[in-house]
Chain A
Amino acid sequence: MNTFINDWYYLSIRNIKQIWRPLLALIPSLFIPIFFFAVNAASLSAFSSLPGFPNISYKQFIAPIAIFTAIFFSAGNAGIELVQDISSGYFKKLVIMPINRLAIILSKLTEVAVQSVMQGAIVTILLLAVGVKFNTGFLGLLAMFGMLILFAMAWSCIGMIAALRTQNARLVQSMFVLVFPLLYLTTSQSPKELLPKTFATIASYNPVTYIIEGVRALVLSGWGDPKIWQGYAVASALFVVMVTLTLMSFRKALK
């Protein structure tokens, strides 16, 4: 096996094992999206009768958000695990091995991807069980996971950059609060047309809006919706930029 692939593979296995060690740590990132979905679908169902709302139930409208939130929450763990490795000194052990440093970062991203698929799949099954329909079928589901994984990996880089730059666990954990403005200053709860002008403007500058709209298009519309490729374009751009910044922080951390 090529040494780079070898390093990436074995580091990924190590990181993936951390996902369920301890198993209880998985619960909050699964509970929160399901909780918000259940509460919002029940309490805000009257929204769907407003003029300008698409001709679907509110439950169907916010279903993609539940999957997105599950992935959004779980992706933050990569930074926390990295700062734990740094503060324990384990990170230094990895750095002084004859391994490609890119493999260390890529293995973290692989862990994020695996965890995203696992958690996203659990939420998807629950949504299917409560009657949510996916208009683009199984292929649409795959495309949706592809877009969400790209975004999850990009988002996880924020935690990793904070870990590498500050080496402070509290600061990395506090990055979690960014989820809320990024998630709620979008079209996650309501179509853009129904948002007040200021919020609609902010939402149009928030990259997360394009991911949400892309995922929603895959669930509610069809393959012809341009929001799908727009979502992919934003997710891919974020991925490239954030991974580059993470690698730069990695180099800086060793000076």
Chain B
Amino acid sequence: MIPPYSRSQADALAICTINAIGTSYFLRNVPIRPATRLFTGEAIWCLLKEQMPAKKITVGRAELAGHKTDKAIIVVKNLVKTYPPDIKAVQNVSFEVKEGEFFGFLGPNGAGKTTTMNMLVNLVKKTSGTVTVDGFDVSTESNEVYKRVGFAMQEVGLDETATAREMLQLHGRLYHMSRQEIDSQIAKLLKLVELERVADRYASTYSGGMRRRFDLALSLIHKPKVLFLDEPTQGLDPHARQLIWGHIRELNKQGMTIFLTTHFMDEAEALCDRIAIMDTGKIVTSGTVNELLQKHQAKNLEEVFLKTTGSNLANEEVNLKATDPYVRAR
């Protein structure tokens, strides 16, 4: 039976106990060096630890725990983005995301996913159409929207001259949270993304995986209702991807609505309740994974993707031109 200790206490206690027992009894007659005995103790502890459930860390709003409703928390109607002279990056896009839903937004490079996502948080001004998040219009009530959304972007934007803790504290302050609230949320978030040990190191020293995990923590400091994730596992190795998947799955279980864009079909298939596929600035199909497989008579999501998107590199070029600051400045 597992004693009611915290994980770290139990860890230390078990290592000591197992090593003591190992040294004094089980391995007493075995002609091995003390270091080997220690290793044996650690190995046994690792096996035990895997069996022990980690304490659940709630970083979202407690009132939302396990919350899934039919209420549409993101409502997008006839959204259009045109860059001069006449580059149609997003064309008349409409969709809804329900509260507590894990929504996947897929599409080839240059399809307009990131532009659409940026318009959902008013980072890019829409040409026409309406977007509301939790009932607030992103154009006219953007501050209310910002209080409710977290955004982990494709480019992990960190302040390289600050430590993780400093950045989390600053962001907490900028969301106008109290000092106690910030400290408690920082402790939970660092634990969630397993960065407690490096919290006081400069962000410039972090590996790619650590940066992604920290970026996720940063986007959660203010307990957002909706989390936007733009290619959150891009460039990560399979272990780091699994770790991020675990974190965002847990957040969704806690009632957070997740809006994910990704290129990885397995990621979308494993995580999302519902998926929309975008190509050349339009949504070409949407539904649950099963609905999409049936509708397009496909074996897997990748097949659905290939059948519905006939995009080519020229579209990517169109979007590149549209977002190029030199072109935009003209």
Contacts and interface: CB of A to CB of B under 8 A. Distances in A.
A254 B123 contact: yes
B181 to A, nearest CB: 14
Interface centre among A88, A90, A254 (most CB of B within 10 A): A90
A201 interface: no
B122 interface: yes
Contact of A17 (B125, B162, B326): B162
Contact of A90 (B143, B157, B166, B174): B157
A151 to B, nearest CB: 26
Given A14-B170, A88-B157, A6 B151 contact: no
A165 B153 contact: no
A92 B153 contact: yes
B146 interface: yes
A230 to B, nearest CB: 36
Contact of A88 (B123, B158, B166, B175): B158
A89 B161 contact: no
Nearest to A249: B329
Interface residues of B, number: 33
Interface string A61-88: 0000000000000000000000011001
Nearest to A87: B155
Contact of A10 (B125, B162, B174, B218): B174
B82 to A, nearest CB: 12
B171 interface: yes
Interface in A143-177: 165-168
A91 B122 CA distance: 14
A93 B176 contact: no
Contact of A97 (B124, B125, B146, B329): B146
Interface in B145-183: 146-147, 149, 151, 153-162, 166, 170-171, 173-176
Interface centre among A6, A93, A98, A168 (most CB of B within 10 A): A93
Contacts of A7: 174
B328 interface: yes
B161 A17 contact: yes
Given A11-B174, A97-B175, A165-B329, A92 B161 contact: no
A7 B156 CA distance: 22
Contacts of B125: 254-255
Contacts of A89: 153-157
Interface in A9-58: 10-11, 13-14, 17-18, 21-22
B151 A3 contact: no
B325 interface: yes
Given A96-B151, A166-B325, A255-B328, A90 B158 contact: yes
A18 B161 contact: yes
B123 A96 contact: yes
B232 to A, nearest CB: 13
A95 B174 CA distance: 11
Nearest to A10: B173
Interface of B: 121-125, 143-144, 146-147, 149, 151, 153-162, 166, 170-171, 173-176, 218, 325-326, 328-329
7 contacts: A10-B170, A10-B174, A17-B161, A85-B157, A95-B123, A96-B151, A99-B174
Given A89-B156, A97-B175, A99-B174, 10 more contacts: A14-B159, A14-B170, A22-B161, A92-B157, A93-B153, A97-B146, A98-B144, A98-B146, A166-B326, A253-B325
